[in-house]
Structure 1
Amino acid sequence: MRRAQPVLQVLFLGGLMALSSCAADRGVVSASEAGEDWIALFDGASLDGWTPKLVGQPLGSDTDRTFRVRDGLLVVDYGDYEGDFAERFGHLFHELPLSHYRLRIEYRFVGEQVPGGPGWALRNSGVMLHCQDPATMGLDQSFPVSIEAQMLGGDGVHERHNGNLCTPGTHVEMGGELITRHCTDSTSHTYHGDEWVLLELEVHGSERVVHWLEGEPVLEYGGLQLDPGDADAARLLEAGAALELDHGWISIQAESHPLEVRRIELLMLPETD
């Protein structure tokens, strides 16, 4: 397996130590079934450690308070928006680049989609894995080059799989085949209504990613890599990025439907040869 470069190894180790040192403030959640300590990335009171990037705004600016904390929840909220959505997609980035880890997020969709949101974005959000450094995103870039684990809710009538894969600026492999389509469905059932849903993502560098919903695996793939045919990915490659995508940042999407998140937890995994 190709390992992260030494500088990145230091970043990962330093980041883990930083997260551990503030665990008393942010809380540590124990997974009793395995005796594991999960570090809470969201403290329930602030967006410390997270940075927004909205279309048309520089990194760190969120003039309409799309991402905020309310009643102990991290929320995607459009109450301060004037006019329609106008494709003002947003992402909230955690501060640390990661490579081998498990991430779990408990979320639910609430309320009505903001006027002007695209039809496909109804009850639609996602967790972006192995994102490009947010500092390298263009001012009007809609989505980071990344691997997206979709969070999808049903409309009460139609079937809609949850935990699907989408690949902005990237490709993956399944069964030894390069997958170049943008989205791939999982095997999950449809999650209608405003119920809380637990999504877990198991990430092993570029080699293997598994999506879990409520403890059940619903999708698996590997061979994560940049797409040279995508303009944003090509720009990264020209700047010296490797084709293999084995690390990056995580982010939470804002795609026009209100969202509530009550926990985001991280468990670092060891790299193996």
Structure 2
Amino acid sequence: MLACQSESQSQPETSESGTDTISLFNGEDLTGWHADVPAMDENPDTTEAFIVRDGMLVSLGDPRGHLITDEEYSDYRLDVEYRFPGEPGNCGVLVHASTPRALYGMFPQSIEVQMMHENAGDFWVIVEDITVPDMVDRRGPQEEWGIREGENRHILNLTEDSENPLGEWNRMTIETLGDSIKVWVNGDMVNFGYDATAESGHIALQAEGAEVEFRKVELTPITALSD
């Protein structure tokens, strides 16, 4: 695992030197990633869910599954620039991913930072958990909370209208440090959680029904959450 060593209202800044920042996507191919697409189990000739097109990493949306980093990471800032080029839909970035297909036979054990259009920055817990302020208001009745199928795994973000109009590029920044996760969308701090049940793991991108283009996926080690 690579230790890449973030609570505030301001957008985090890129490291001054930039020398510690690594691009997880090289703009040419999917080196450093592997796909887990259940439909390919029985039919290896199934159309690829993730491709490189015009220098961008593209999630085609179907067949559904995940593109997962080969390496594991902890204590980092992840900067992702993405857009829905066609119809709005669903996607997400999963952090601290571990056991494959732990939920519904597809989703790896992880904490998802939602990218679904008009919902960017929500948390979905996937056989892991996290705490946020005002949990009942943002997650619903406590007796319904859970981390598995049929339980309330959804935690609302803090803002509305942080996303750019459909078709325009969005910047999502995710900071993880120890058991804390903090998220910005286009400069707005949209979520902050703590007491996460995982502190490290793989990073994954979803294919979940809608085409999404990624032009930047960069990771920078951190030793403190941004102010």
What band does the TM-score fall into relative to the shorter chain?
0.7 to 0.9
1:71–1:165 Cα change, 3 Å: same
Q: Could you tell me how far apart the structure 2 residues matched to 1:108 and 1:265 are?
A: 16
Deviations 1:50-72 (A, max 9, x none): 100012335xx673111000110
Give the superposition deviation at 1:255: 0.3
- Alignment correspondent of 2:57: 74
Aligned counterparts of 1:111 and 1:101: Cα–Cα separation in 2: 31
Q: Specify every segment of 5 or more residues in structure 2 that has no aligned partner in the other structure, as ranges.
A: 5-12, 140-144, 146-151
Q: TM-score, normalised by structure 2?
A: 0.77
Report deviation, 1:247: 1.1
Deviations 1:154-196 (A, max 9, x none): xxxxxx3321111122221123969633112211415431000
Aligned CA RMSD, in angstroms, stands at: 2.7
Q: Provide the C-alpha distance between the structure 1 equivalents of 2:107 and 2:205, rounded to a whole number of angstroms.
A: 11
Identical positions, percent: 30
Preserved CA contact (<8 Å) 1:162 1:188: no
RCO (CA 8 Å, sep 6+): is it higher in 1 or 2? 2
Q: Give deviations 1:236-264, integer Å, cap 9, x for gaps.
A: xxxxxxxxx12111100000101100010
Structure 2 counterpart of 1:22: none
CA 1:214–1:139: 2 relative to 1, 3 Å: closer
Q: What is the match of residue 186 of structure 2?
A: 214
Alignment partner, residue 171 of structure 1: 129
Counterpart pick for 2:169 among 196, 202, 226: 196
1:65 aligns with 2:48: yes
Is residue 58–residue 212 contact of structure 2 (8 Å, CA) maintained in 1? Answer: yes
- Cα distance, 1:36–1:188 mapped onto 2, change above 3 Å: farther
Match of 2:155 among 184, 192, 208: 184
Mark the CA change 1:32 to 1:221 in structure 2 (over 3 Å): closer, same or farther.
closer
Q: Distance in 2 between matches of 1:166 and 1:264?
A: 21
Q: 2:90 maps to which residue?
A: 124
**Conserved in 2, the CA contact under 8 Å of 1:152 and 1:191?**
no
Q: How many residues align?
A: 199
Larger gyration radius, structure 1 or structure 2? 1
Change (3 A) 1:105 1:32: closer
Q: Which residue of 2 aligns with 1:44?
A: 27
Q: Is the 8 A contact 2:79 2:218 kept in 1?
A: yes
Amino acid at match of 2:195: G
Residue among 256, 260, 265 paired with 2:209: 256
Give TM-score scaled by structure 1 length.
0.65
